[in-house]
Structure 1
Amino acid sequence: MRVHICAVGRMKPGPERDLTTDYLTRFDRTGRALGLGPAQMHEVEDKKGGGMAAEAALLDRALPKGAVTVMLDERGKTLSSPAFSVQLANWRDTGRSDVAFVIGGADGIAPDLRAQADFKLSFGAMVWPHMLVRVMLAEQLYRAASILAGSPYHRV
């Protein structure tokens, strides 16, 4: 199952991009044998200043057709890392070929796009910088693949 991260904004060189790249590379290596990956980043940017609605239109175009859509949203469901790995495996095992994680911009995800989600995922009640959320998601994808592979990376 291919993994897509569809996000508003372009990561500039720096620690967030380095960490995201590192964790997605680890995910690809670990997930390959499990039928997970590769992971691909789709960055969109509204250069005309159209706000959330314009960002939503760009994100919608970036979503692969037929993908499970997962919106990262503070109002979503919080999962433990093992539960997240089970959810990822369930999507894979039900024959879904793509899952797309959507990360909005500084103002979040437009309500109409958020309403189309198959699943809403929260990293907690706190609001996180959208560039840092990419790092956190990439790490959790790698952690999920490690859990499914029986690797000691995730310790209970």
Structure 2
Amino acid sequence: MKIFLTAIAPRRTRTKSEATDRLLADYIERCGRYLPCESQTFDDETGFLDWLTKQAGRGPAYAILLDSRGQQFSSEEFAARFGNLRDGGSQRLVLAVGPADGWSAPALQRANLLLSFGRITLPHQLARVVAAEQVYRALTILAGHPYHSSH
């Protein structure tokens, strides 16, 4: 399985934050110890959906869209869901931070899962870091690594 951490952020609105960029890169590198993982940013939702369609392997990519209306999971529940996808043969898992005004109906229809980190609003860069950390946490839970139990 390959993991993609993606975000919709038009170039004109992207802000550079060395701190969040470093954190994101660090968690992606950590995830890479378990599964290939990369980050991708798109200018708009259409570009993201086109890219997502092209990510099919034996089956379509499994798309998890971050949305405040989505399901909430504990870290253990998220890890179990993640493990089921991995063990069930999913080749590509995409976690996506959506556009500032929310996901469109076609994007919501394409989603395999809507995931919420709660009702709070996070800036894109921070949401990406939280998503990356939760993916890393899930991978360590599945591997029996003590990272999760020490927090």
TM-score by length of 2: 0.87
- What is the CA-CA distance between 1:11 and the residue it aligns to? 6.2
Q: CA deviation at 1:92?
A: 0.9
Deviation at 1:13, TM superposition (A): 4.8
CA 1:126–1:153: 2 relative to 1, 3 Å:
same
Superimposed CA distance per residue, residues 90-127 of structure 1 (whole angstroms, 9 cap, x where no aligned partner): 01111111111111122222222122111111001112
Amino acid aligned to 1:125: R
| 1:65-89 deviation digits (Å, cap 9, x = unpaired) | 2100111000000000011111111
User: Equivalent residue for 1:20?
Assistant: 24
> Segments of 4+ in structure 1 off by > 3 A?
none
Tell me if the contact between 2:65 and 2:114 (Cα under 8 Å) persists in the aligned partners.
yes
Residue in structure 2 matching 1:83, options 68, 77, 87: 77
The answer to whether residue 137 in structure 2 is matched with residue 133 in structure 1 is: no
- Cα distance in 2 for residues equivalent to 1:144 and 1:123: 14
1:2 aligns to 2:13 (yes or no): no
Q: Secondary structure at the match of 2:76?
A: helix
Map of 1:58 onto structure 2 = 47
Letter in 2 for 1:101: L
Number of equivalences = 141
RMSD over aligned Cα atoms: 1.5
Distance 2:145 2:86 in 1: 19
Question: Do residues 97 (structure 1) and 97 (structure 2) align?
Answer: no
Question: 2 CA distance for matches of 1:105 and 1:136?
Answer: 17
Uncovered stretches (5+) of structure 1, i.e. residues with no partner: 32-36, 46-54
Closer/same/farther in 2, CA of residues 2 and 11 from structure 1, 3 Å limit: farther
Mapped to 2, the partners of 1:132 and 1:108 lie a distance apart of: 16
Bigger shift: residues 125-134 or 5-14: 5-14
* Structure 2: runs of 5+ lacking an equivalent: none
Contact 1:27 1:141 in 2 (8 A): yes
Letter in 2 for 1:43: T
Tell me the secondary structure at the aligned position of residue 101 of structure 1: strand
Offset of residue 5 of structure 1: 1.6
The secondary structure found in structure 2 opposite 1:145 is helix
SS of the residue aligned with 2:4? Answer: strand
